[in-house]
Chains A and B, each alone.
Chain A
Amino acid sequence: MTSPKPMTLHYWLTVALKDLPEPVQLRLEDEYRAHLLDSESPNDVQGVLGDPNMVKKQLGSLYFTTYKLKELEQAKRGRNIFVHTFVAAMALLGSWIAWDSHGKDLTQLFGPVSVLLISAVVWGCSARSPLIKRQFVRSSWTVSALQIMLWSGWTISLLSGQSLGAFMGYYVALFPALMLYQFWDARQNYLRLDRTLRLVGTPN
């Protein structure tokens, strides 16, 4: 019975660096090749460098794949416009309710107006960023914007003494934790994007 062929460096690199953008692959290929040449067992690729699948997983948490970068380059203007049009419509509705109640019921305005103000800040702060980062930041915020508007409406209703049921009560209470996680996740992905673009470059 013949022993299995030792893993080649080419195969190891193909697995470990799969789907990463080419500039990222080139840099890592140079480093791994040099490392193996320096080692005492340059023919024992897996013995020196370890499991390529484990390395692939770790690199995946640091860099976006080529496919993901292309996806981020696609503008999501349609979704951004739709969500903000909806929020603006809710602001108008809140304004009508406030006018109709002769200024007594301003609570319905709070959520949509807050979200629109934050959106204006996000759009303004990201205006000078490279296109792909700009789209990432705006798209990430838009996902949260609608949720925050709805949550603020339910919270105000609860605080005004309205009953929304046990499920909504728990949702309102737990929502801030969900939002914190979303923002943390978005920040981690922004850092991943930044790290990737440092090697790939930022066409604008």
Chain B
Amino acid sequence: MNTRERLRLLILAVLERQPEHGYAIAQAIHARSEGLLTAREGTLYPALHALEGEGLILSEEREVGGRLRREYRLTEAGLGALARTRTDWQAQIRAVQAVLGLPQQEAQS
């Protein structure tokens, strides 16, 4: 999985929990990965626009804390894409674990 695909997966996973605006998505990726993963923040918005163009997420302007912010949320198509990507990612992890001789872990639900 290349960097671009990984960023797409991370964005979809964050939005699965709740709608967020761009900065909150970047912070969520950083926080949930315990600082290991960072969305290069300038490149976050091209990724968001690409996902919106594909119909996987939608956006609308909302007032948040007295300021107008553009909030993104997952669509049904986005949920499906996330589920498929998760399955592929888990398969890749199992394959690498098998090659490295590591014990196979149960997939987290």
Which residues from chain A sit less than 8 Å from chain B, CB to CB?
16, 27-28, 30-32, 34-35, 38-39, 48-52, 54-55, 58-59, 61-62, 191, 194-195, 198
For B45, give its contact among A28, A48, A191 (CB under 8 Å): A28
Contact of A16 among B21, B40, B42, B67 (CB under 8 A): B42
Query: Do B49 and A62 touch (CB < 8 A)?
Result: yes
CB-nearest residue of chain B to A195: B53
- How far, in Å, is B21 (CB) from chain A's closest CB? 7
CA distance A19 to B63 in the complex (A): 30
B23-61 CB contacts (< 8 Å) to partner A: 23, 26, 40-47, 49-50, 53
Which of B22, B40, B53, B70 meets A50, CB within 8 Å? B40
Secondary structure at chain B's binding surface: helix, strand, loop or mixed? helix
Q: Name the one of B21, B41, B46, B68 contacting A62, with C-beta atoms under 8 angstroms.
A: B46
Quick check: B53 and A191 within 8 Å, CB to CB? Answer: yes
Which residues does B use to contact A, with CB under 8 Å? 21-23, 26, 40-47, 49-50, 53, 67-70
The reply to whether A194 and B53 form a contact with Cβ atoms under 8 Å apart is yes
Q: Which residues of B contact A51 (CB under 8 A)?
A: 42
Q: Hey, which chain B residues are within 8 Å of A32, CB to CB?
A: 42, 45
| Complex A-B: 14 CB contacts under 8 Å | A38-B23, A48-B41, A49-B42, A50-B40, A50-B41, A52-B42, A54-B43, A55-B42, A55-B45, A61-B46, A62-B49, A191-B53, A194-B53, A195-B53
**B23: chain A residues within 8 A (beta carbon):** 34-35, 38-39
